[in-house]
Structure 1
Amino acid sequence: MSSGPWITSSSCSPSVVQSSEDTSVAAIFQWLRFIFLSPCPQRALLSSVDLLFLLSLLAFSIQKLYSKFVSSGHQSSDLNKPLIRHSRAHLRTTICFKLSLTVSALLTLCYTVVCILAFTRNTELPWKLVDGLFWFVQAITHGVITILIAHERRFEAVKHPLSLRVYWVANFIVISLFTASGILRLVYVQQNQEPSFRLDDVVSMVSFPLSIVLLVIALRGSTGIAVNREFEQGMNGESNLACAYPKFCGFHRGKKKLAL
């Protein structure tokens, strides 16, 4: 396999694709190779996935806020509800929840460090800007995911949002492409490789096993949060747990009827 300039070039122009064959199949193969394995198109591809996820999350948040605002006018109906706390939830987190939270936090920290290094490198300005913004978007995306996972415990979510699961699957595919490019550069152009690409390749190879963990979690769907509910005592002092005994429940229901 030849290692053309497409694998080490920071250009986003398809002019780096050089084809000596006249067949259309070879031309299509080189175009695909440039789009999926060249540094600049890869960054554009993964950034598009990140931005789509963030936009979907923003749209969902706006929709929830709008629904809350619309339903605020119907709060008066809550006055007719009994002032009794129905249940109390006891949460238990499994290794699945802790893994997803830890991996997302590690990726956020890793991409933040690489983003800072990208902006402080002595490289050409266009590529420094492209590379720095790319890692910035990565850091922001995984930071938002970390916060989202942390809030899943607060909201007692037992399933990850579908948008997050789809993102983890798409992210794994693109990170696999980054890792494949890094291996190709390591094998074919190790001596002439730029220092900035060496760092990116290390980051990609570290991110790849972490993305596998997130892929497995996405396919499982479970957040790893187990919710156990216990009925609390009402305002009249009697416990709803006592209703496990029919005679006792009937006795109290009889007292209530007499009181009426």
Structure 2
Amino acid sequence: MLLLIAAAFFDVAWAANVLAPNISACNEPIGLPYAEKNYRCCAPVPSYVPRLFRPVAPSVGDNIRVRRTSHSADEKYASDLARAYSLMKELPPEDPRSFVQQANIHCAYCNSVYSQMNSSERFQAHHSWLFFPFHRWYLYFHERILANLLGDDTFSLTFWNYDHPNSTNIPWLYSAALSPYPDLCTAIRDASIDHPNSTAALDYGSDTGARPRDIQLSENENAIEGHGYLLCGSE
């Protein structure tokens, strides 16, 4: 049996059964970032029967979305991405495509606002085998919303190719020190890890100080191994 071990610092979970969330009851979110206020982020209870979504396989002649690395993104891509997020933030908060609702979706399923059905256990996608499928689904629709707002079916999100030795710093378009687009970066990030010549601290915390590159790379590898790894075994 393939077990997915998803760990966040000292919180470890495995591929045990996870019950569906009880969306009829909403709780306060747990573990929001320090800069955010607690708020109720549960989705409204739908008045219709949810429709099963099945991705359509591409056909010959369809536009193919090419996913590039964040570090290789050019000025035009960064400008398009910033415009997409600007348009998303301009949508009314109640619009399901809005930036507020996109944040609420992640909050609802990743900050334990729902209990599992017929259980007192909270539903938390990060602490179960659902981590990868949930975020793949989430990013799929998030990307499609951005593309729709831009009117460009070929638009795609970038990915951080952290394994490349020249890509261990925060990508320029998301760096407050380099990016001219405030919709893509945050001013609250510690300047010591947001510098273009700094190795990003994947284990960043309140006590994370500046470290030599070789030490930080080693700590990053430990953080990656600690946050998620696969164990193969048999029942």
TM-score normalised by L of structure 2? 0.24
Whichever structure has more helix as a proportion of its residues is 1
